[in-house]
Amino acid sequence: MTLICLIKMTQEQCTHRNNVQSSEKPQVYKVGIYGWRKRCLYFFVLLLMILILINLALTIWILKVMNFTIDGMGNLRITEKGLKLEGDSEFLQPLYAKEIQSKPGRPLFLQSSRNVSVNIVNNNNKLLTQLVTGSSGFKARGKMFEVKSTSGKLLFSADEQEVVVGADRLRVMGAEGAVFSKSVETPHVRAEPFKELRLESPTRSLLMEAPKGIQILAEAGDIQAICRSELRLESKDGEISLDAQRIRLLQLPEGKASTSSSSSGTRQTVYEVCVCPNGRLFLSQAGTGSTCQISNNVCL
């Protein structure tokens, strides 16, 4: 009896529960983004697409303007031997290269608004050699400077010890000539054909020395030695020879004879050259005998 009652109660509860569930509406769960979130998402996606298109257009424009190719960029080409530049190139920062050369048969032109500097450094980044060309001039710095011809002959060399000119002829074209503050050693000093040779020291003395002699030769002209005070010819162990067809001694002083010893005749036009004990020369009117003793008042 009890078991039958329990079965009936269970059936009634199940029937009631089914009736309640059938009377309620079924619940639907939506999956996704809706409302203002969806509109914001579409807006950001559209903005991202616009930016991608703009970026792609700018990239294509840059590639077109810079002339990017597989071989390089613009006038810059990448080859097996290095970089190759065609046309004019401008470097805003220092250029480091092992070798710079132009195309075969074409000149290499370097231009700068200020200067062009070439520096050689060692492993410790210490400057060894420097070449600077600028608006103020041309400067070179190094232990030695050499200029050679195409055949390898030394034309010019300079270091701390000496300067060597290896050319066959050194020509100075300036109007003032060449100025040397120290001594000059040369085996031969010669002027150009039909030109004058002039050795001058405006404020100091001019000294020429040679252990085996000095020869001054003018084959088709004159030799002049002009000084303001004294001109001295001195030979310590030899003699001084004046070898010429005519020897003229101009502006020699003339000795005056005393009144008692002067002749009453006409004035003589023939003179004799007299020498004072101190070596001074003077003229004296010639007579039947020597008149140097009579006219030696110049020696006083």
| One pLDDT digit (tens) per residue for the chain, 300 residues | 444 444 455 555 555 555 545 555 556 556 566 778 888 988 999 999 999 999 999 999 988 887 777 777 767 777 777 777 777 777 788 777 777 877 778 887 777 778 888 888 888 888 889 989 888 888 888 888 899 988 889 999 998 888 888 888 777 777 777 777 777 777 777 777 777 777 777 777 777 777 888 887 777 778 877 777 777 888 888 888 888 888 888 888 887 765 544 554 555 578 888 888 888 888 888 877 787 877 777 777
pLDDT at 3: 42
Q: What are the structure tokens assigned to 97, written together?
A: 């290269």
Provide the pLDDT for residue 299: 79
Q: What pLDDT was estimated at residue 238?
A: 83
Are 197 and 203 in contact by the 8 Å Cβ rule? The answer is no
**Collapsed DSSP state (helix, strand, coil) of residue 53:** helix
For residue 45, the model assigns a pLDDT of 93
* Per-residue pLDDT at 49: 96
Residue 225 corresponds to which tokens in the numbers above?
């030695």
DSSP, collapsed to helix, strand or coil, labels residue 64 as helix
Residue-level pLDDT at 44: 93
259 Cβ partners below 8 Å, 6+ apart?
none
Please check whether residue 157 is in contact with residue 147, taking contact to mean a CB–CB distance below 8 angstroms.
yes
Half-sphere exposure of 254 (CA within 13 A, CB side): 10
Q: CB within 8 A of 66, min separation 6: which ones?
A: 73, 74
CA distances to 81, 109, 143, 171 from 153, in Å: 33, 27, 20, 18
Instruction: Look up the pTM and report it.
Output: 0.41
User: What pLDDT shows up at residue 91?
Assistant: 76
The answer to whether the beta carbons of residues 283 and 294 sit under 8 Å apart is no
* Pairing label, strands 137-141, 115-121: unpaired
